[in-house]
Amino acid sequence: MPFLPLVVSLLFTLTSAHRGLLTKPSCDDDYGTSATALNIPDASISWAFKHYLDCTHRVVWTKFTNPEPDFRFYVGVGIPPVQRQAATRADALIIGPGLPTLSDADMQSLPVELQNDRVWSTQGGVGAVIHRSPQDQSSCAHLGTVMQGISSVVNGRCDFFEPFGQTHSWRVLDADNNVIPLAQQTYYVAVFLQQHTSGKLGIALGTWTENFWAPMEIATPTCVRDMSDFSEKNGDQTNCFPVVACPAVPPISKTTCEPRDASCPLGAVCSGSKDCCVAFNSMMGCGGECCQPAKKLWDDVNLAMHRAMALQFTGAVDVDFVRGMIPHHAGAVAMCDVLLLNLTCTPLDEAGVLDGLVHFCQHVKFKQETELGGMRAWLAARALQETSVCSSDGMAGHDGHMGMDGCGNTTTWSSQAFIAANRDMHSGMAINYTCDHSVDFIRQMIPHHAAAIVMCEILSNATVGGTTATAQPDAYLTELCANITQAQRAEIAWLSAWLAGRGKSLIAPCEACADGEPFTEPEMPCEDLLYTSQLCHLVGGDLNCKCATLTAQYQCGTTANLTGPAMVNPSAECRRTCGLCPAERPPLLPTPCPGPGGLVAKDATMGNASHGHGQCASCPDLHTHSAQLPLCPSLWVMLLINLMTVVTLVLAA
């Protein structure tokens, strides 16, 4: 992996997707003093978390180790855009050595709870910097340059709209350019409301540097309140999260609304009992003895996509391309739904959680659904049906048990090429499941994305100017493939770095190499990554966020500081454009075994190596979720409902 050190240690450019500082929102007694402050694992990247102050404490605390002298640190606060929080104003205090001494007046202005915290006595010579929310929130003048560029005034309030989660928040505090003087010293951040009331807060800290790749220990708070709809776009939550004067009499109930359910039954991982699972005979993939419901979900999604891509080929490369790409795109959306909705029960608007995979899936859904609309319009303009699938008779098969590659005009070179791409994609997606749902998702998504690029190459080769030209170029399809190729290559590189940063192989084939040697790890891709950044999408949009534009303004090999804690480093975000990648890219769908025999089935001692048979007698406890549940009959009912939903989504898309 020659490019791994470079990939994992990038200084990212113009990125702002906050990594989740917690596995779920905090509240009540969580992080209420400096002694129980929430630790920020790495202050040099972007973090965020949500908190509800219920009057148990006046302040929510975080702390960090300063990574370098005169480090620039950011803190910002947003609140839900709801009327009961219209008067909410939040202040922030950064405390630590080498900062200015607070005046007596400033100290007396702080909440008594904060004045009396032990931080002032246990840290010798500490100072502090205080930031206050302005009372006038009718403009965005109180925001720094970065947030001003992506916020606007809506109905008389400074509003930030996050397009992928489709959520709004009122930005009440934005404090950037804080110079933290002393390296390797501990600093604290105390956030509190100006008025002693309850209320929701969304807190962002660190820098604008995005890094979901480095593995870090993410804390889990004690809070049981369900704050998954933080912005309350799905309805008013006054009964659950009232804004009242403190101390609250009577105390704010923790059980008025249903507590957040920490379990996620379909994503449960068995921990050793041989009767905790029911073996499932998968058609695609192996392993997964300890997460049979997850394995069945993946199998159904992948098979539905494969079947929908087994077209009744016309031999017209553009028509066959569009009809194959539609279920391909719908399959990516369905895969994200399996990961987020079924296996991890993760709210779709929590962009920073699940180590960046929610943000990734938000982007996938946004982009794929946009392109799905365009492809359907392309077919409709030509009075062509969207689907043209084969009956069970006359199918061209290749492996005996899947038995379906397509029908119709399958003898043309383009039909053969599409069939081969579909086979290679699904062979790559037929992985040895680990029951680490994020890892399994990524290992399937990489060959899925690679196949889209291959399909675009087939289309390009078939048009005028291509190597096997048989059709006139189509302006829309040319632009579509340019966008697909740019996006999928960047995302493959992002996903690969995610796995490599955690010491995970990029592939997990079910078979073994014929010569008995271990499979060869694919080469790490080296691509422009600017496209994958969230701020990139916010300030320019996917089609306008290009390395050619960035490198025209900022020269490769240089860095420049923007207003606020953001750094422009074109050589990090635009490695290929800056000439830092090998000219020849590694194969999109690599062969794990370079020897002449290729892959062969593992012997019977490997358990369910080929089709997923096996028991759960020695399953490791992976702690994927807190619940370790047996697969009981009621769970099969839930599983059936979810499978019907997934298959319907893919076939109807």
Instruction: Say if residue 159 is in the same domain as residue 65.
Output: yes
Q: What are phi and psi of 388, to 5 degrees?
A: -150, 75
Produce one character per residue of 444-456: b if its CB has 16 or more CB atoms within 10 Å, e if not: bbbbbbbbbbbbb
Does residue 214 lie in a domain region? no
Q: Note whether residue 122 is domain-resident.
A: yes
**Residue 553: Cβ-neighbour burial (10 angstroms; 0-12, 13-18, 19+):** exposed
Looking at the fold, whether 191 and 273 belong to one and the same domain comes out as no
Q: Which residues are paired to 44 by β-bridges?
A: none
26 pairs with which residues across the strands? 51
Both 197 and 49 in one domain: the answer is yes
Last residue of a domain, one of 158, 173, 206: 206
Per-residue pLDDT, 335? 97
| 272 plus 167 within the same structural domain | no
Residues 294 and 192 in one domain: no
> Which amino acid belongs to residue 60?
V
State the residue range of the domain holding 320: 268-518+607-652
DSSP-assigned letter for residue 349: T
State the pLDDT at residue 15. 36
- C-beta of residue 525 within 8 angstroms of C-beta of residue 489: yes
Q: What is the pLDDT of residue 573?
A: 84
Both 163 and 305 in a single domain? no
Q: Which of 291, 210, 264 minimizes the C-alpha distance to 16? A: 210
Are 373 and 512 found together in one domain?
yes
Low-confidence ranges of the chain (pLDDT < 50): 1-16, 394-395, 398-403, 538-539, 603-618, 620-653
Task: Give me the helix-helix angle, 475-501 and 317-337, nearest 10°.
Answer: 30
- Residue 285 inside a domain? The answer is yes
- The Cα 234–Cα 221 span in angstroms is 24
Both 272 and 202 in one domain: the answer is no
- DSSP for 464-482 reads TTSTT--B---HHHHHHHH
**CATH at 623:** 1.20.1260.10
Q: What is the pLDDT of residue 466?
A: 52
pLDDT at residue 642, as a whole number: 41
CATH code of 139's domain = 2.60.120.380
What are φ and ψ of residue 28, in 5° steps?
55, -115
Q: Which residues contact 453 (CB under 8 A, 6 or more apart)?
A: 484, 485, 488, 489, 588
Which of 175, 206, 237 lies at the terminal end of a domain, its last residue? Answer: 206
CA-to-CA separations, 495 to 8, 264, 357, 507, in angstroms, rounded: 12, 24, 9, 12
| Spatial contact of 448 and 335, defined as CB atoms under 8 Å apart | yes
Domain contains 276: yes
Angle between helices 413-429 and 292-309 (to 10 degrees): 180
Tens of pLDDT, residues 569-602? 788 889 999 999 999 999 998 888 877 777 776 6
In a domain, 68, yes or no: yes
Tell me, yes or no, whether 197 and 273 share the same domain. no
Residue 262: the pLDDT is: 57
Q: Tell me which amino acid residue 12 is.
A: F
Q: What percent of the chain has pLDDT over 70?
A: 79
Whether 300 and 646 have beta carbons less than 8 Å apart is answered as yes
Give the number of domains in the chain. Answer: 2
Q: Are residues 427 and 497 in the same domain?
A: yes
Do the domain assignments include residue 235? no
168 and 311, same domain (yes or no):
no
In a domain, 8, yes or no: no
Question: Does one domain contain both 648 and 500?
Answer: yes
Question: At 46, which amino acid appears?
Answer: S
CA–CA dist 504, 501 (Å, integer): 7
**Domain-terminating residue out of 157, 179, 206:** 206
DSSP 517: P
- What is the per-residue pLDDT for 213? 79
Residue 158 forms part of a structural domain: yes
